[in-house]
A = this chain, B = another copy of it.
Amino acid sequence: MNFRMIKILPLFLGGILFSQHNADSVQMKQISDEILVNGTAYNNLYDLTKNIGARLSGSQAYEKAVDWALLKLKEAGADKVWKEEVMVPVWVRGTESLKIKTADGKWKPVNMLSLGNSQGTNGKDVEAEIIVVSNKNEFDALPREFVTGKIIFFDYVFDQRFINTGQAYGDAGMYRRSAASWAGKKGAKAVIVRSLSSAVDDVPHTGMMRYDADDTAKIPAVAIGPAGADELHKNLKNQKVFAKLNSNCRMAGEKLSYSVIGEITGHTNADVMVVSGHLDSWDVGEGAQDDGAGIVQSIEVLRAFKKLGLKNNHTLRVVCFANEENGVRGGNQYAENISKKNERHIIAIESDGGGFTPRGISMVMDDSKREEIRSWRKLFEPYGIHDFDLKYAGTDIEPMEALGVPLAGLVVDSQRYFDIHHSAEDTFDKVNRRELLLGATTMAQLLYLVDKNWK
């Protein structure tokens, strides 16, 4: 190669690269324009949250949501829509109350929610002295005889110092998940946990807990709001405090339910690209950010492909998973089914961090694929997508990791999510139209590039 060639080559290659980059960037802009101007995701979310609302897996509302998703996928232009059978656990909340008595002798009600999958008190009052611990070490240091017969209050504070609130949620997660099991093993009557909440209000947040297989006593677990936790902790510093818990929540067996699937069949290839969210929510609020947003965004991706006539080579499939919140049965069943059918998937994406402004793409895939997605960074930057470093993917698609499916997650601004997550405050008004549509845009753009470049 002579000197002249060396000087020319970069320009020449640059020309090719630029030209390809340019064609892709034009197509990505068309996707963005279509979704931001004509997107139906926001209206669909209004419909889902206001006309169905909370839709706990196993509930009648969830079954309505199944019919709703079938309809919306058809409206969006899916070639095929169907329901995928899955057995889900049924948990019912029933009535519940928690009262606190301090030195003044009066019982005062506290904002509370039983944790999902928890046992209740069978409608009887369970009354006991409250003992507070700030973390697991403090609990572990308590002698069994001191714990026995008490109600243990785990007041582990949501750590505001994390910039990504998902890390603070992960940091505090074991208290919601396991405190009842720890305390039950030492003979406690019930546990109260501080809600996993970034807010400074008094809203309680539910979420899944679990008993260990060897738990002989399955004691009730309830969450209280941050302000209630602050007040209770303060009271406990200088006096004995008693709690009276009464709840009817219980597991009620299993039930046949469904994930909902719709697709535009691949024009040249039967391999599948999944874009997804979970259709179930907790039984309080409206399941707007968690995960109505991911559902309507996934449907929006399909709608935009159809409307723009993008003619996907591979099958573009929207999966609305059942039972993410209290069992992940939908995600596990889907992975099992595609494994049995030997149905090859070239990528699966999930949006389950809320419909907030997208900031990046997280990846669980081999390094060569990861680097290829990272090489598209310049194409994504005009859309504010800059974070390609995180290595996780959604709960529902994780079971596909073992099958070798490359997984991606929509990374969104995390600041507001845990203010409302799993609470009565997760309602439609917390969702911003443009933020929601931009999340759909990012996923559609990524699938456009994957469809074109991956075999």
Are A37's CB and B434's CB within 8 A?
no
- Taken together as a complex, chains A and B put the C-alpha atoms of A277 and B337 apart, in Å, by 57
27 example contacts (A-B, Cβ-Cβ < 8 A) are as follows A32-B163, A33-B161, A36-B160, A37-B160, A37-B161, A42-B200, A160-B434, A163-B382, A163-B383, A163-B384, A165-B434, A198-B434, A200-B433, A357-B357, A357-B413, A357-B415, A359-B384, A384-B413, A386-B386, A386-B387, A415-B432, A415-B434, A415-B438, A416-B432, A416-B434, A416-B435, A419-B432
Within 8 A of B (CB), among A398-447: 413, 415-416, 419, 432-435, 438
* Chain B residue contacts of A42, Cβ below 8 A: 200
Q: How many residues of A contact B (CB 8 A)?
A: 28
Complexed CA–CA distance, A165 and B419 (Å): 25
Which residues on B sit within 8 Å (CB–CB) of A359?
384
Distance (whole angstroms) from the CB of A416 to the closest CB of chain B: 5
Give the 9 A-B CB pairs with smallest separation, nearest first.
A415-B434, A36-B160, A386-B386, A33-B161, A415-B435, A416-B432, A357-B413, A357-B415, A37-B160
Output the least CB separation between A209 and chain B (Å).
Answer: 26
User: For residues 185 through 238 of chain A, which have their beta carbon under 8 Å from a beta carbon of chain B?
Assistant: 198-200
Report the separation of the CA atoms of residues A435 and B32 in the bound assembly, to the nearest whole angstrom: 26
- In chain B, what residue has the closest Cβ to A359? B384
| A119 CB to nearest B CB, Å | 34
The distance in angstroms between the C-alpha atoms of A161 and B359, with both chains bound, is 18
Residues of chain B contacted by A433 (CB below 8 angstroms): 199-200
Proximity string of chain A (153-174) to chain B, C-beta cutoff 8 Å, 1 when within and 0 when not: 0000000110101000000000
* B161 lies within 8 A of A36 (CB): yes
**Complex CA distance for A165 and B415, rounded to whole angstroms:** 20
Contacts of A198 in B (CB 8 A): 434
Nearest chain B CB to A109's CB is how many angstroms away? Answer: 25
